[in-house]
Amino acid sequence: MALNTASEVISFARRLEEDSAKLYENLAQQYTKIKETLLSFATENRKNIVQMERAYYGVITDAIEGCFAFNLNQDDYEFQANPADAVSYTEALAHAIEIEEKIKRFYSEAASQAKSLLADLPRVFALIAKKRESRSLILKSLLSGHI
């Protein structure tokens, strides 16, 4: 499915944040050693939603929305938020890393496409992409520390 308007992109981004927050909350219940880290990711996801929506609603107008075009394919960024229950710690972290990389790509591409039309929204998207990169590094360190 194509994402062409700012409204579609914001709605999809909200879903990415909510779905990955649920993933981290579920993983936190399974892996108590890293529970606080995982729950902090979920909390950050909800803050990302607020920050993104604040930037969007603060500058959006019907005129901009009507011509504010993205060219993103939603299918490129979809993921399964709940891996099978029998997934090992290593597989769960590897899955989370894959999700972070997909979400980072989404925000990076959305920021790039929106850069010429608005300042605030692309800046928020770029900031979230950086947070996702940091999160990937944390997950990779947790993964390498376990192996």
Q: Inter-axis angle of helices 120-146 and 89-114, to 10 degrees?
A: 160
- Taking phi over 0 as left and psi of -120 to 50 as alpha, with beta for the rest, 118 belongs to beta
Q: pLDDT by residue (tens digit) across 29-85? A: 999 999 999 999 999 999 999 999 988 887 666 545 545 568 899 999 999 887 666
Out of 1.20.1260.10, 3.40.50.970, 3.40.50.1370, 3.50.70.10, which CATH number does the structure's domain 2-146 have? 1.20.1260.10
pLDDT digits (tens, 9 = 90+) for 6-30: 888 999 999 999 999 999 999 999 9
Spatial distance between the Cα atoms of 36 and 82, rounded to a whole number of angstroms: 19
The dihedral built from the CA positions of residue 132, 134, 138 and 144, taken in this order, carries a sign that is positive
The DSSP code sequence of 9-29 is: HHHHHHHHHHHHHHHHHHHHH
